[in-house]
Amino acid sequence: MKCYSELIQIPTFEERVRYLRVDGAVGVDTFGFDRYLNQMFYKDGAWKRIRRDVILRDNGWDLGCEDRPIGLKVVVHHIVPMTKEDVLSRNERLLNPDNLICCSPETHRLVHYGAEEDIYRGPVERKPFDTCPWRTSE
C-alpha cells in the first residue's frame, strides 16, 4: 500500500506524481449522492487538526519537494483515496499522517486525472510579449 514514508524517499517531483497517480476520470462519482459524507468529514475537528499538522510537517511544499512552494491554497491529499465505506466506518487511515501529503490544487488534479504528458517538468521560459501575441518587440 502506498504511503508518505515511501513517497518521501522518491527523489523527484515527477516520480512522486507517478507514484501517487490514481488514473481517475473526470465526472466519475466518488461518493455520488452520498457526497455529504465526505463534506461532513472535512468539517470535523479531527480532520482540521491532522490537516494543520500535515501542512506543518510538509512546510507547505508540493508533494514535500523543497523547491516547490505551494502558496496560499494547500490541498491535503489522501495517498490511498478515501471511500464512502471508509468514512462510514471511521477508518483510521483517513486521519493517519502516513496517508496524507500536501499538494497544490494543480498537482492534486494531475494526480487524480492527469496523463503522463501533463506532468510538470519545470518552469516555462518566458519571452518578451509572450502573453500579448498581438504585440511585438518592434
63-108 pLDDT tens trace: 999 999 998 899 999 999 888 899 999 999 999 999 999 999 999 9
Phi/psi at 30 (5° precision): -90, -45
Q: In the predicted model, what is the mean pLDDT of residues 114-118? A: 77
Q: How confident is the model at residue 124 (pLDDT cuts 50, 70, 90)?
A: low
Q: In the predicted model, what is the mean pLDDT of residues 106-112? A: 91
136, part of any domain? no
Strand segments, DSSP code E, in the chain are 75-78, 100-103
89 class by beta-carbon count within 10 Å (0-12 exposed, 13-18 middle, 19+ buried): exposed
In angstroms, the CA 52 to CA 22 distance is 24
26, part of any domain? yes
20, part of any domain? yes
Q: In the predicted model, what is the mean pLDDT of residues 53-71? A: 94
Looking at the structure of the chain, the number of domains it has is 1
98, part of any domain? yes
131, part of any domain? no
27, part of any domain? yes
Q: Which amino acid is at 28?
A: V
Identify the weakest region by mean pLDDT among 51-55, 68-72, 122-126: 122-126
Q: Per-residue pLDDT tens for 5-25?
A: 999 999 999 999 999 998 765
42, part of any domain? yes
Residue 102 pairs in a beta bridge with 76
Name which residue leads in pLDDT, 82 or 56: 56
pTM of the model: 0.80
Per-residue confidence (pLDDT) for residue 27, from 0 to 100: 47
100, part of any domain? yes
- Domain limits at 50? 4-118
Check pLDDT > 70 for residue 29. Answer: no
Name which residue leads in pLDDT, 72 or 3: 3
Give 108-114's long-range contacts (Cβ < 8 A, gap of 24+). Answer: 108/75, 108/77, 110/17, 111/17, 111/20, 111/21, 111/22, 111/77, 112/22, 112/24, 113/24, 113/25, 113/26, 114/17, 114/21
Per-residue confidence (pLDDT) for residue 99, from 0 to 100: 97
